[in-house]
Structure 1
Amino acid sequence: MLKEFGANIWIAEGPTVTAAAGFRYGTRMAVIRLTNSNLVLWSPTALSDDLRAAVETLGAVRYLVPPNSLHHTFLGDWQRAYPDATVYAPPGLREKRKDIRFDADFSDGPIAAWAGEIDHAIMWGNRITTEVVFFHRQSGTAIFTDLVQQFPRGWFKGWRALVARLDLLTAAEPTVPRKFRVAFTDRRAARESLRRILAWPTEKVIVAHGPPITEEGQAFLRRVFRWLGD
């Protein structure tokens, strides 16, 4: 149900969902426990009684974090389960989900409640979605959503398998899909965001769609984003 990924950080695998054009994606959430035992839930996946019970053994759910305007399918269920939790809106999601009560918006500034424990950087300049990338200091873990992906060969069938290969979704290691590379129309803003991300002492990397990176995380990120240039 919940798998420990490092000191005070856990991941949970959710169900497979079908997106546009019938492409199937697995879902994954992360749970971070702050020093005061409050919990930050990143990209909440499908809520179940078992998952809820497992999460509540770790601490009190205080923050719900959808990391971009694409990862919000199950957010309403978690807000109904934890109505007192603070919900942060990434750029673009507040307008998309009028049914969700958002309590605050992500900006380039730090979140006071997490200061010293979780850093974040907004990856500006992309026309598909504006992703908020997180860094959990205690475990040395950077957390990406859709900007870095990898699917096993055979995951997609038929014409979708060809599209996935051309989009680099089935590359040898997790990488930035081609459609996201093309969608970075403001490269200067993207590079400035990336500089903040590469300054983190990243040891491990969690991605929503792909295997986690468990060592040499900073070197991995430099390799993955080399195409963006200096």
Structure 2
Amino acid sequence: MAGFRYPTRAAVMRLSGNRLVVWSPVALSPALRVAVDALGTVSYIVAPNSLHHLFLADWKRTYPAARLYAPPGLREKRRDLAFDAELGDEADPEWAGEVDLVPMRGNLITTEVVFFHAKSRTVLFADLIQQMDPGSLTGWRALVARLDLLTGPEPKVPRKFRLAFINRQSARKPIERVLSWPTDKVIMAHADPVLHDGRAFVERAFRWLSD
């Protein structure tokens, strides 16, 4: 993307009855399908924002019985996909007590839906928190990544996403909801997982909202 290599990560949330929620699907290789099928039944496929949609069609073809969910803005972008529902301010009733979510509205780049898997006490971010290995970048790419706050000692909200929030006050309310979750771990599409003290990590990542 724009000359950058963006390693990315999907996640699988297991619900009661061995139902699986596949979050931010990546390329579906035969080995990945075997690994996912060993966990349970793929029942829901979700894109967390309008940027993470490239492999939705492959997953839907492979798991036609799974419900496909669009974040705000993706239906218009991917009219070729038949979405079953759109992610809103409340989680699907079928996920009650197991998965919570909150949309981060008011961002000019994309509206990202942040997820929380209750049993594992894990929050999932797609693009709102990122980190790149500075050793993998050279020349102008290294400079751009540093200016975008992508190569610091821990994952952060990229500068471009901070600037894209047109109203910081409107962003504080959903982050307050995220901080109300009893978070231990944080999974990100573009950074290594945070496996301890996840709530404190999220609080540090969004401290700029109060500056």
Q: Which category describes the TM-score, using the shorter chain as reference length?
A: over 0.9
CA distance in 2, matches of 1:221, 1:174: 10
CA distance in 1, matches of 2:140, 2:106: 30
Aligned to 2:108: 127
Larger helix proportion, structure 1 or 2?
2
Query: What 5-or-longer segments of structure 1 have no aligned partner?
Result: 1-18
Contact 2:23 2:47 in 1 (8 A): yes
The SS at the match of 2:43 is: strand
Larger strand proportion, structure 1 or 2?
1
- CA-to-partner distance for each residue in 1:89-120, whole Å, 9 max, x for gaps? 10111111111110001110221111100100
Aligned to 1:191: 172
Aligned to 2:12: 31
1:98 matched to 2:79? The reply is yes
1:177 matched to 2:164? The reply is no
CA distance in 2, matches of 1:196, 1:73: 29
1:188 positional shift: 2.0
1:156 positional shift: 2.2
Name the % identity: 61
- CA-to-partner distance for each residue in 1:96-153, whole Å, 9 max, x for gaps? 1111110001110221111100100101111001000001111110000000001111
TM-score where L is the length of structure 2? 0.97
Aligned to 1:47: 28
**In structure 2, what residue type is equivalent to 1:55?**
V
CA distance in 2, matches of 1:109, 1:137: 15
CA distance in 2, matches of 1:160, 1:77: 31
Contact 2:69 2:85 in 1 (8 A): yes
Aligned to 2:209: 228
- CA-to-partner distance for each residue in 1:47-97, whole Å, 9 max, x for gaps? 111111111111111100110000011111101111111011101111111
- CA-to-partner distance for each residue in 1:196-229, whole Å, 9 max, x for gaps? 1111011110000011101111111111100001
The SS at the match of 2:100 is: strand
- CA-to-partner distance for each residue in 1:165-192, whole Å, 9 max, x for gaps? 0000101100000000000002222111
CA RMSD between the two structures: 1.0
Query: What 5-or-longer segments of structure 2 have no aligned partner?
Result: none
CA distance in 2, matches of 1:75, 1:106: 15
1:151-162 aligned at under 5 Å gives the runs: 151-162=132-143
1:140 matched to 2:121? The reply is yes
1:162 positional shift: 0.4
The SS at the match of 1:220 is: helix
